[in-house]
Amino acid sequence: MDLRALPSVDRLLAQADALVAAHGRALATQALRAELAAIRQDRPHPLPDAGAILKAAARALDAAARSALRPVLNLTGTVLHTNLGRAVLADHAIAAALDAMRAPAALEFDLGSGGRGERDSHLRGLLCELTGAEDATVVNNNAAAVLIVLNTLARGREAVLSRGELIEIGGAFRMPAIMEQAGCTLREVGTTNRTHPRDYREAIGPDTALLMKVHTSNYRIEGFTAEVPAPDLARIAHDAGLPLVNDLGSGTLVDLRSWGLAPEPTVAEAVAEGADVVTFSGDKLLGGPQAGFIVGRRDIIAAINKNPLKRALRLDKIRIAATEATLRLYRDPDTLAERLPTLRLLSRPEAEIRAQAERLAPQVAQALGCAAAVVPCASQIGSGALPTDTIPSAGLALTPAPEALAARLRSLKTPIIGRIHDGALILDLRCLPDDAALLNALA
């Protein structure tokens, strides 16, 4: 084998106009040199010609240029999948974000007076309207919201919290650790399964800064249990001259029962029950971009906004624009499910999803060369919301060799993400926007 027959880099570059146009001369040269080096090492027979080498270099450059953070089809059955970016934004939110990116925006500029404005002003009125709170502010996620609230109200003092509410959220991020970083001391009361009003009253002392309630949105304790309802806890706090902080986690602005879903406490309910501060997420049940909302008493919100942490945790113009557009959708509950993807996906009828699975089963089987059976599924909301409740759904069970099938689907230009269960790769179709999305990805 005469490796001298291989074309030179210069000769290849002379035929690589498309490659250079797509990726630049430097990267094209580097890729061609890498392909030639691999050929010299592997010594294939027969040697590839110039056309084959150019195609191989193009494939390598295309693969390197493809971002790992790219769109996927979420067919896991978990609607708000943390590892897949949680909520899909509404068209209104996407359009608002694009507008904010394309041009300068009046982020901290008061168009009426011509003076300096506040970036929170774009969201404050909507949040107060939708929750009934006196005032509101926003940071980059709910963990940050809890952090800045505790740092503002309880730094150097004690925060009283039931042992049954010492949650751990994704990535081993624990409430006691957040409290420690906030500079306050956790005062645990009650037991894992039972906490009574007297436990809180007995824990209150000269170092107590606040009482706290945390909604256990990502787990349930059942059986011999007791907890103090938020209205009762608010009375205990206020009798002692203390604020009550209620962390809802995956908070919602609407009663989910209206769409056939299990109930979750709404932010407006938490405010009406007497909480002085309520914190909740923007990218979970609310269906917007990542954000942490803080609503409550005007004097407390003012103190939070003066905390130096606020600047470190604030939102940029893109997320503020998308968040504002999302909140505006909630002003018309009658059309919310049509315009908010999270609610639309959660409320999709099982019969509609099953019909979709029956249409797609033979086409998917043919495209992948495998068996595809229509099966019932149990979708989850995800992101810690309603962990013990599932939503009837339908999907496809692909066999045989589910691990190999899963790897093939993950390698597609638009990866398809399912889950392996009982010896099959399950594609739950609840979050599939239309048949074409799956068929085009497979094609």
At 67 the pLDDT is: 85
Task: Clarify whether residues 240 and 254 are in a common domain.
Answer: yes
At 281 the pLDDT is: 95
Residue 4 lies in a domain: no
Side chain identity at 148, as an amino acid letter? I
Whole-angstrom Cα distance, residue 394 to residue 410? 21
At 387 the pLDDT is: 63
Task: Clarify whether residues 233 and 160 are in a common domain.
Answer: yes
Q: Which residues pair with 161 in a beta bridge?
A: 188
pLDDT band at 216 (very low <50, low <70, confident <90, very high): confident
Task: Clarify whether residues 59 and 120 are in a common domain.
Answer: no
Q: Which residues pair with 188 in a beta bridge?
A: 161
Residues 153-167 have a mean pLDDT of 93
Provide the pairing of β-strand 419-421 with 391-399: unpaired
Task: Clarify whether residues 350 and 294 are in a common domain.
Answer: no
Residue 187 has pLDDT above 70, yes or no: yes
Task: Clarify whether residues 334 and 371 are in a common domain.
Answer: no
Residue 317 lies in a domain: yes
Residue 191 lies in a domain: yes
Residue 223 lies in a domain: yes
Residue 275 lies in a domain: yes
Residue 1 lies in a domain: no
Query: How many CA atoms are closer than 13 Å to the CA of 248, on its beta-carbon side?
Result: 29
Task: Clarify whether residues 150 and 264 are in a common domain.
Answer: yes
At 382 the pLDDT is: 84
pLDDT band at 420 (very low <50, low <70, confident <90, very high): very high
Residue 286 lies in a domain: yes
Task: Clarify whether residues 104 and 49 are in a common domain.
Answer: no
Number of structural domains found in the chain: 3
The per-residue pLDDT for range 120-156, each reduced to its tens digit, is 999 999 999 999 999 999 999 999 999 999 999 999 9
Sign for the pseudo-dihedral over CA of 171, 184, 271, 216: positive
| Cis-peptide into 46, omega within 30 deg | yes
At 191 the pLDDT is: 87
The per-residue pLDDT for range 289-317, each reduced to its tens digit, is 999 999 999 999 999 999 999 999 999 99
Task: Clarify whether residues 424 and 437 are in a common domain.
Answer: yes
Residue 2 lies in a domain: no
Task: Clarify whether residues 438 and 381 are in a common domain.
Answer: yes
At 388 the pLDDT is: 64
Q: Is the pTM of this model over 0.95?
A: no
Task: Clarify whether residues 32 and 136 are in a common domain.
Answer: no
Residue 239 has pLDDT above 90, yes or no: yes
Task: Clarify whether residues 60 and 98 are in a common domain.
Answer: no
The per-residue pLDDT for range 386-401, each reduced to its tens digit, is 666 789 999 999 999 9
CATH of the domain at 77: 3.90.1150.110
The residue segments making up the domain with residue 376 are 73-85+344-442
